[in-house]
């Protein structure tokens, strides 16, 4: 059953195509036969031996007059009008007449006031003019041409059966598409050439962009995205050029693209800003993956650089995603841009201690540590003469990585304390002198020092005296 249905459908389709071809060829063939039959033998021979004339500008000698999607006859050009323009004007007037007329259409011929010109009218409305030039083109008399074209128009105005009407319209559509396709062949070839070169250039740009992205600190996804952005940008330009070659108005297209770009720009302003900032960061490279930085108050290690955001892992394990627009506009402190950083430890010694000896002891003590860099050499400076101590600043260079930096600083502080204790250099606590008013009786009996404990829990010694 299914096979039988398929065979019937195939037969119907084949019949429709065959009728379309036959009907499309019939009008022109019939017109040619009528013209040839009307010509005397000598004129037929003359027509066959007709001299070659210069082709018109559009390459069309005769153009079809279309009625209800069917070619009725062909007209040639006049002095100021090409064949295509003349046929299109006649076809439009006929289509307008048929749209506005519900009843029968009466076609007639009327002699014009201009000599050698006959008007073909329908319901009193001029459809076209027939001139001596038309008669010369067809090697017929003017009356014969007028009669033939009038008869053809009368037959075409009769409403055909639905099936024939559909086939005629289909035939006209196919013929028009075929003609458009033929006329578009040069433009199509140009478009194909543009597309081919656009494809080659786009592949080259994508490869170059991908190679450049691999030399930056972006992740694999960012590298692929940059390559695709370059590839897409070339295709956008190539598409614009191809559409221009096809015949689309370039100025109108650019205006539409401009308005579209403005609308997209406003709606995706923040997203585009982040992407552009990401590309600039990848190109400028103020930091690399693994660097320890401080960005906008966030401190940690760079773990990922994408086109939209930069990821920082803080020292307590949290992941911070900072939009690239903020990264680009913020001040960036790169702690690991240099291999070594200088660290400092502060220590206070007693006023009675020998400062020179204390400095030498500290330098010898920390110079033997493996994690302290020998160059530049450690140094000890007197930073402050405080109320009860002489404060020293111990400067030394360590690995810039945070873990090594903190560990080495802690080891140095411990080593300084142990070295000063080994050489009996006092590191006293702060001493305060308190002047008390209205001293209680139990304190008046005590003349000397008093130990007090402030809120921080550190015991300090104060000298008590009465005023």
pLDDT digits (tens, 9 = 90+) for 401-451: 776 788 888 999 999 999 999 988 888 876 666 666 776 666 655 555 555
Q: Are 372 and 331 in contact (CB under 8 A)?
A: no
CATH of 279-334, one of 1.20.140.10, 2.40.30.40, 2.30.30.60, 3.60.15.10: 2.30.30.60
Q: What is the CATH number of domain 340-422?
A: 3.30.70.100
Q: Are 28 and 74 in contact (CB under 8 A)?
A: yes
* 20-24, 160-164, 244-248, 410-414: range with highest mean pLDDT: 410-414
Q: Are 39 and 47 in contact (CB under 8 A)?
A: yes
Give the per-residue pLDDT at 418.
Answer: 92
Under the banding of pLDDT at 50, 70 and 90, the label for residue 357 is very high
Give the per-residue pLDDT at 56.
Answer: 58
- The CATH 1.10.287 domain(s) of the chain lie at 186-267
Give the per-residue pLDDT at 361.
Answer: 92
Instruction: Output the CA torsion sign for 376, 380, 381, 383.
Output: positive
Give the per-residue pLDDT at 175.
Answer: 74
Q: Is the pLDDT of residue 189 over 80?
A: yes
**Mean pLDDT over all residues of the chain?**
75
Q: Which tens digit of pLDDT belongs to each residue from 319-333?
A: 999 998 888 888 888
Helix (H, G, I), strand (E, B) or coil at 110: strand
Q: Does domain 186-267 match CATH 1.10.10? A: no
Q: Are 405 and 345 in contact (CB under 8 A)?
A: no
Distance of CA 62 to the CA centre of its chain: 48
Helix (H, G, I), strand (E, B) or coil at 98: helix
Cis-peptide, bond into residue 78, ω within 30° of zero: no
Give the per-residue pLDDT at 289.
Answer: 84
- The CATH 2.30.30.60 domain(s) of the chain lie at 279-334
Determine how β-strand 390-399 pairs with β-strand 340-349: antiparallel
Q: Is 251 left (phi over 0), alpha (psi -120 to 50) or beta?
A: alpha
Q: Are 390 and 355 in contact (CB under 8 A)?
A: yes
- The CATH 3.30.70.100 domain(s) of the chain lie at 340-422
Closest CA to 410 of 360, 357, 355, 371: 371
Closest CA to 63 of 79, 75, 45: 75
Q: Is the pLDDT of residue 165 over 80?
A: no
Scan for tokens 């101590």, then name that residue. Answer: 389
């Amino acid at each position: 059953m299914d096979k039988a249905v398929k065979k019937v459908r195939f037969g119907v389709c084949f019949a429709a195509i065959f009728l379309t071809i036959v009907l499309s060829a019939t009008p022109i063939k019939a017109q040619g036969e009528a013209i040839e039959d009307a010509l005397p033998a000598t004129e037929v021979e003359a027509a066959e031996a007709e001299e070659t004339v210069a082709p018109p500008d559009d390459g069309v000698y005769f153009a079809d007059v279309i009625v209800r999607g069917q070619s009725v006859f062909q007209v040639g050009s006049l002095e100021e009008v090409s064949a295509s323009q003349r046929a299109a004007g006649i076809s439009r007037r006929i289509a307008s007449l048929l749209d506005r007329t519900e009843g029968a259409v009466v076609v007639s011929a009327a002699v014009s006031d201009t000599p050698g010109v006959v008007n073909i009218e329908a319901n009193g409305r001029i459809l076209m003019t027939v001139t001596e030039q038309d008669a010369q083109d067809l090697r017929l008399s003017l009356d014969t041409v007028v009669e033939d074209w009038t008869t053809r128009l009368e037959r075409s105005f009769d409403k055909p059966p639905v099936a024939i009407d559909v086939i005629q319209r289909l035939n006209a559509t196919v013929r028009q598409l075929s003609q458009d396709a033929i006329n578009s062949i040069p433009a199509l070839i140009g478009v194909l050439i543009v597309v081919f070169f656009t494809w080659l250039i786009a592949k080259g740009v994508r490869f170059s962009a991908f190679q450049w992205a691999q030399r930056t600190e972006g992740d694999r996804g960012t590298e692929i995205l940059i390559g695709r952005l370059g590839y897409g940008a070339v295709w956008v330009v190539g598409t614009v050029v191809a559409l221009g070659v096809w015949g689309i108005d370039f100025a109108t297209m650019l205006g539409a693209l401009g308005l579209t770009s403005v609308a997209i720009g406003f709606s995706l302003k923040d997203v585009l800003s982040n992407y552009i900032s990401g590309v600039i960061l990848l190109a400028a490279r103020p930091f690399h993956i693994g660097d320890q930085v401080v960005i906008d108050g966030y401190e940690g290690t760079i773990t990922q650089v994408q086109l939209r955001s930069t990821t920082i892992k803080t020292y307590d394990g949290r992941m911070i995603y900072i939009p690239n627009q903020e990264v680009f506009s913020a001040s960036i402190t790169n702690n690991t841009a240099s291999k070594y950083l200088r660290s400092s430890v502060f220590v206070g010694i007693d006023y009675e201690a020998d400062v020179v000896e204390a400095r030498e002891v500290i330098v010898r003590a920390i110079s033997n540590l493996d994690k302290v860099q020998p160059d530049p050499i450690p140094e000890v400076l007197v930073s402050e003469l405080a109320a009860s101590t002489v404060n020293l600043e111990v400067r030394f260079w360590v690995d810039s990585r945070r873990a090594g930096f903190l560990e080495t600083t802690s080891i140095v502080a411990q080593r300084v304390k142990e070295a000063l204790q080994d050489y009996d250099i006092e590191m006293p606590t702060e001493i305060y002198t308190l002047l008390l008013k209205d001293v209680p009786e139990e304190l008046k009996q005590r003349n000397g020092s008093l130990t007090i404990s402030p809120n921080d829990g550190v015991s300090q010694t104060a000298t008590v005296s009465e005023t």
